[in-house]
Chains A and B, each alone.
Chain A
Amino acid sequence: DTAVSQTPKYLVTQMGNDKSIKCEQNLGHDTMYWYKQDSKKFLKIMFSYNNKELIINETVPNRFSPKSPDKAHLNLHINSLELGDSAVYFCASSTLAGLYNEQFFGPGTRLTVL
């Protein structure tokens, strides 16, 4: 299946732990994104990479560190997890070529920090 995939789908962890979320796309896109959706459903961009280069870095605590080993993968590592980090994290991808910039979202990772 051509898609954006994320692992894990659910992540439950204790405060202070370090965790990672992985994202992969096989759509041939050159740009990938991380979004955070909070309990009020607000979708906010966190990071974006274009061909492994960071192009968007919103005001996110430096406990969050994205890493793009190649243009098909964008992982998110979170250090010292806090209660406020609980949210659904969506990965997305798009192509910057041409007129259309549709972003394709992954299924989301629901992170619960206890």
Chain B
Amino acid sequence: GENVEQHPSTLSVQEGDSAVIKCTYSDSASNYFPWYKQELGKRPQLIIDIRSNVGEKKDQRIAVTLNKTAKHFSLHITETQPEDSAVYFCAAMGGGSNYKLTFGKGTLLTVNP
């Protein structure tokens, strides 16, 4: 089955700096890669996603890049703000028909004012 590795597990940055979180996946048939943000005590919420036919996608301060050959994808957050502090999860959806999402283990991002 699919295996998703996520690094780093914790990341601390100063407000205004950029943050990068990286993930690798194992199943070359995976075709959908979402990123979820989970604030403390809250539910995970989708912040951006990318499909395997696209190499990069941007939405204001967040961007995701995908390298299918290397089987890795990354989340980039620019001009970080304290409200960006949360746990971020990457995920990969396998190429089978069961639409199963396999999540990485999460990155705790802390943005220091």
Contacts and interface: CB of A to CB of B under 8 A. Distances in A.
Interface residues of B, number: 21
Interface string B65-107: 0000000000000000000000101000100001111110110
Interface of B: 32, 34, 38, 42-46, 49, 51, 87, 89, 93, 98-103, 105-106
B44 A90 contact: yes
B45 A105 contact: yes
Given A42-B105, A102-B49, A31 B99 contact: yes
Contacts of A101: 32, 34, 93, 99
Most A C-beta atoms less than 10 A away, residue of B93, B100, B102: B100
B100 A90 contact: no
Contact of B100 (A41, A42, A56): A56
A66 interface: no
Q: How would you classify the secondary structure of chain B's contact residues: helix, strand, loop or mixed?
A: strand
Contact of B98 (A42, A55, A107): A55
A12 interface: no
Contacts of B89: 43
Most A C-beta atoms less than 10 A away, residue of B43, B44, B99: B43
B44 A105 contact: yes
Given A103-B46, A105-B44, A41 B101 contact: no
Contacts of B38: 41
Nearest to B49: A102
B103 A106 contact: no
B43 A94 contact: no
A27 interface: no
Nearest to B100: A56
Given A45-B101, A103-B34, A106-B43, 19 more contacts: A40-B105, A43-B89, A43-B106, A44-B103, A48-B99, A48-B100, A55-B99, A56-B98, A56-B99, A90-B43, A100-B49, A101-B32, A101-B34, A101-B99, A103-B46, A103-B101, A105-B45, A107-B42, A107-B43
Contacts of A41: 38, 87, 105-106
Interface string A29-43: 001000000001111
Contacts of A90: 43-44
